[in-house]
Structure 1
Amino acid sequence: MRRRRKQWRCPLVVGIDGSEASLEAVDWAADEAARHEVPLRLLHAAAAGHDASDLVAAASERAAKSAPAVRLSSEVLSEDAASALVGEGRDALALVLGSRGLGGLAGLLLGSVSLAVAARADCPVVVVRGGVEHRHGRFGCVVVGVEDGEGSGRAVDFAFREAHVRGCRLLAVHTWSVPVGNPGPPGLSGYALQALDRPPAQVLADALSGPEQRYPDVPVSSEVVEGPARQALLNAASAADLLVVGARRRHGRVGLQLGLVNHAVLHHAPCPIAVVPQI
């Protein structure tokens, strides 16, 4: 219990660059800091030094108006934005970023800084995407993707905590498919073949059992889907306030290497998405 109280005092850090997407991230982060009762830290970083006082002042005013009870601080750093944010993330509850920065392409593409931070940070990274209804909690649902093994343990914990502080329900999604080149014994369906190894429903039950005991107030439903994970998660996220996915470290590499599913949901999710590293 003592460790959890200490963790909750860590600030929520939001990156700002003056773009509309980063201001939407400030709004989301201010609400999130209020929910978790943690300080909010605004960070602007750029390799080329310039006067960012007006930019920071405008973002600070916006955050203070949105969440007046939240303790607010700001800082301007003259260094590469992605590196600065990753460094700040070592002592943060989470990093919050806009989906596109200044000069970013319109549409569904994710900004390069947000993608780089999501791939390297030690803490959860939230990329604020979607329309107003998704960014302001109108669906009352957090969705979490559950993998087999240990890749999504921290992500499931994060999702439960989010559902708890929001007072909303949690939907856990696990996908599976028949291994390529392994048709199995004659007469067995795809689901039965998967069950020879480990039943998908058991994967979900094992992943949820611990967090369900720690957060008994969170209503939980689960969904097992045969097919591609990215499509199942994007479908579930269409009626969600937050999508949570895990990210595993690749052996022999520095930092996280985001997989295909991470990339797909970061670029195309209709709601804010949290990438939670499994450290």
Structure 2
Amino acid sequence: MLASVMAGVDGSAESLTAAAWAAREALRRGLPLRLVHAWDRHPRPEEEFDSAVQRHLARSALRQAQDRVRAVYPDVRLVNELVEGLAIAELLKASEDAELLVLGSRGLSGFTGFLVGSVAQGVVARATRPVVLVRAGEAATDERRPTDETDAGPRTAYRDVVLAADLDPPADAVIEFAFEAARLRDARLRVVHAWQTPVLGLGPGEVDLLDDAHRAEERQNLLTGALRLWRDKYPDVEVVATVTKDRPRTALVRAASGAGLLVVGHRVAERPLGRRTGPVTHAAVHDVDCPVAVVPHD
């Protein structure tokens, strides 16, 4: 199957918002948009009527999303796909050929951040392709900076793309995704790396020679080295790289304020209790108010 931008839809307001965001991303990337709805058919004969109703509702959800996208983005190439099975498993399977998968999450009224449903959480934890979470109510205008009174241009610049950089070790797939997202938008890329003083027990005769200033310089050098290749590959992307002493999740939420997209990494290695998100990714998908791209890596 050809590469595409994929959106999971279920008829909810948040999935319609996700479909619209995915349509804009498909146009930016020059790719078709796949709208996918997964439904779990009841196989027992006595439940055939319920299955028929579910299939009708599934088709209606797809049609609603399709009509909404075509009304606003008539130039996007659109493909609809109805699949049977458990939502998490089927969305993961369908997304294997996609460049990214877009899902909706309910906004927390009066607060920042997402209310992330079980399907979105399950997909993010297990996906091998980038997953973007978009909160309900996100509009095309939210991707751009507020129009300045002195700006006479016909278009308003995109808000920053923010990359939460992990240097232990740096993940090329995550960095590349962030640079490409910034290039597609002609947006500034802000790279943020947070570190904390390690809590280590020193043995007899050992001296901790690295004070905070030295650690900060060391981390800044590591970040500069990790970005060097990508700066050369994307010379037109303006990059601002910052190292800060803070809790990673606190620094991430602060950096994402006012951003157009936050990019975080997610290690796909199996954990003792199965695949799940780490604390930084968890904070990203729950505590920020802009779209979040979770990029899996080894």
Asked if the contact 1:98/1:128 (under 8 Å) is kept, the reply is yes
* 1:99 aligned counterpart, secondary structure: strand
Tell me, in whole angstroms, the C-alpha distance in 2 between the residues paired with 1:38 and 1:44.
19
- Report the equivalent of 2:78: 72
Query: How far apart are residue 77 of structure 1 and its match?
Result: 1.4
Secondary structure in structure 2 of the residue aligned to 1:136: helix
Q: 2:128 & 2:208 partners in 1: Cα distance?
A: 46
CA contact (8 A) 1:250 1:257 kept: no
Q: Structure 1 residue aligned with 2:220, among 187, 201, 206?
A: 201
C-alpha contact 2:128 2:268 (8 A) present in aligned 1: no
What is the alpha-carbon distance in structure 2 between the residues aligned to residue 275 and residue 114 of structure 1? 11
SS state of the match for residue 199, structure 1? Answer: helix
Q: What is the rounded CA distance, in whole Å, between the counterparts of 1:105 and 1:154 in structure 2?
A: 30
RMSD (CA atoms): 2.6
CA distance in 2, matches of 1:44, 1:131: 20
Match of 2:284 among 262, 265, 272: 265
Q: Which residue of 1 aligns with 2:125?
A: 119
Q: 2:219, 2:249 → 1: CA distance?
A: 17
Residue of 78, 98, 117 corresponding to 2:104: 98
Contact preservation (8 Å) 1:110, 1:266? yes
Instruction: State which of 7, 22, 28 in structure 2 corresponds to 1:35.
Output: 28
Q: Displacement, 1:188?
A: 5.4
Distance 1:31 1:84 in 2: 24
Residues 18 and 161 (structure 1), Cα distance of their counterparts in 2 relative to 1, 3 Å cut: same
Q: Which moved more, 1:78-87 or 1:179-188?
A: 179-188
> Gaps spanning 5+ residues in structure 2: where?
42-50, 146-158
For residues 45-84 of structure 1, the aligned pairs below 5 Å read 45-48=38-41, 49=51, 50=54, 51=56, 52-84=58-90
Identity, % of aligned pairs? 39
The letter of the residue matching 1:189 is D
Paired AA for residue 22 in structure 2: A
CA shift for structure 1 position 69: 1.5
* TM-score under structure 2 length normalisation: 0.82
> Match for residue 190 of structure 1?
212
Q: 1:191 offset after TM fit, Å? A: 3.3
Deviation string 1:117-161 (CA, Å, 9 cap, x unpaired) is 001111000001376468731242100011113353211100000
2:44 match:
none
Conserved? CA contact 1:247–1:256, under 8 Å: no
Tell me, in whole angstroms, the C-alpha distance in 2 between the residues paired with 1:250 and 1:243.
Answer: 22
Q: 1:43 to 1:131 in 2, by over 3 A?
A: closer
Question: Could you report, residue by residue, the CA deviation over 1:233-263 in whole angstroms, capped at 9, with x for unpaired residues?
Answer: 1111111000000111335779853111111
**Which residue in the other structure is 1:3 paired with?**
none
1:168-179 equivalences in 2 (<5 Å): 168-179=187-198
CA distance in structure 2 between the partners assigned to 1:223 and 1:273 by the alignment: 19
Amino acid corresponding to residue 205 of structure 1 in structure 2: T
Number of paired residues? Answer: 266
| 1:178 partner amino acid | T
Question: Taking structure 1 as reference, are residues 186 and 156 closer, same or farther at Cα in structure 2, changes over 3 Å only?
Answer: closer
Q: Relative to structure 1, is the Cα distance of residues 172 and 130 closer, same or farther in structure 2, using a 3 angstrom cutoff? A: farther
Cα displacement (A) at 1:47: 1.4
Q: Contact 1:151–1:247 at 8 Å: present in 2 too?
A: no
